[in-house]
Structure 1
Amino acid sequence: MFLKKILLIEDDLSLGLQLERGLRQEGYATSLARTAQEGLSQARSEAYALIILDWMLPDASGIELLRTLQGEAIQIPVLFLTARDAIEDRVLGLDSGADDYLVKPFSFSELLARLRTLLRRRQQVTAKRLHIDQLTIDLVTRNVLYSGQPVDLTPREFDLLAVLINHRGEIVSREMLVKDVWRQAGRLTSLDNVIDVHIAHLRKKLQIVMRRDIIETVRGVGYRLTSAEK
């Protein structure tokens, strides 16, 4: 009996078949797609628990496919597979909405460990909605509303807001954001500017609809979400 359904989008037939066989042996019902279009079609028609996505595909990049999925509100955790190991590529992949990033070559045991972590993380979401004053975020649909009106956020901005609301009134350090939003272990100072830029964009969008700033910068430490009520 299969545990979960996984969509594997990989154009390397040898690697794809090897991973598909290994995942099936581990109890995962795995579908293999070799192009972005084929993967998109399957993601639209089947309910998958997770997508394993290669960066380089013959008809489109994994980044482009990921953005298409997000544009169609297909909310499935994504693990990127790629030979690109530069920090800039990792940041681009994660900023585009991927939940994790695995560099080739990799061990199958590490792939399985990351899959289990992503699937467990998804199952551990107990509260479907988070609130602060008139701001509501839905963790399932990933929609954000203020006084019933939609607030347009990028995937990374949504994740930042979710962490801040979960820790409302508390200081959220950059280390916490690196771990919970960028899915990286330990402090990566190379991400400090990236975090600051995303926080600035999130703050601006919230200020426009809420007409006040609810994100407090704690200099040298991190950020804190405060109540919008005066």
Structure 2
Amino acid sequence: MRVLIVEDDPLLSHHLKSELSELGNQVHCASTAEEGLFVAKDYPNDIAIVDLGLPDRDGLSLIRDIRRAGIRMPILILTGRANWQDKVSGLDAGADDYLVKPFQKEELVARLNALVRRSAGFVKPEINADNICVDLLAKKISVKEQPVELTAFEYDLLEYLIRHSRQVVSKQRLLDVLYQDQEGDPNTIEVMMSRLRKKLTQAGQDNPISTVRGQGYIFEISAS
């Protein structure tokens, strides 16, 4: 899961990034609304965590700008404001859920996972596509109920393709998924795709990943 955190408290931002990264997520932190909007527009994030009290402007205006830009990723508000009016204002601005500080890490992680599953059209913590089952919580896959060993990057690529099944995904988008704001070698994607196809077919799944010349890759099987 690719998580954008927009939080100006450096200690809280550091803790959130460390805890979510330890669970295998890719995390990008921003300390201002403008930086957060830039990252939201330029990188493929699965979800955003937005603090309402940002130094340059209110988090509500950031959420409105994200929605006006046509970005549909779920947004979880972090707020120290416990009154119901602020919660309603956040939801009206385009947020999907809110969490009042202080909070437990386990609740945050559970809400993030639930929001991402719902936004992708999946209500269970797993995705199924023909013989392939993706366990979103354990970050593991199986084919015909037998586990398939993938590297972290291979898993991230396959999960992203399955979440966007029957959509052409460009090589550059996949590089962004893996490397965020760092440089990645496009040849890496080709090598990983070759390995993914081999591992899936060896496990008994007909190759589900096709190359669309000049455009990218497509996962051919509908997921549910």
TM normalised by structure 1 equals: 0.52
DSSP-derived class of the 1:57 partner: coil
Question: Is 1:59 aligned with 2:56?
Answer: yes
Distance 1:44 1:113 in 2: 25
Distance 1:73 1:123 in 2: 16
Q: Do the aligned residues in 1 keep the contact of 2:73 with 2:119 (CA within 8 Å)?
A: no
Question: Is 1:40 aligned with 2:37?
Answer: yes
- For residue 27 of structure 2, what is the amino acid of its counterpart? T
Aligned twin of 1:15: 12
Question: Is 1:108 aligned with 2:105?
Answer: yes
Identity of aligned residues (%): 42
Aligned twin of 1:156: none
Unaligned runs of 5+ in 2: 124-163, 165-224
1:50 is aligned, of 47, 51, 54, to 47
Pairwise mapping of residues 188-203 of structure 1 onto structure 2 (< 5 A)?
Answer: none
| Per-residue deviation, 1:123 | 2.3
Distance 1:68 1:15 in 2: 24
Question: Is 1:88 aligned with 2:90?
Answer: no
Unaligned runs of 5+ in 1: 127-139, 141-230
What is the total number of aligned residue pairs between the two structures? 124
TM normalised by structure 2 equals: 0.54
Distance 1:106 1:41 in 2: 27
Q: CA RMSD in A?
A: 1.5
Distance 2:63 2:83 in 1: 19
Q: Structure 1 residues 58, 95: CA separation in 2 closer, same or farther (over 3 Å shift)? A: same
Distance 1:21 1:99 in 2: 24
Aligned twin of 1:119: 116
Q: Structure 1 residues 74, 123: CA separation in 2 closer, same or farther (over 3 Å shift)? A: closer
Distance 2:116 2:64 in 1: 21
| Per-residue deviation, 1:44 | 1.0
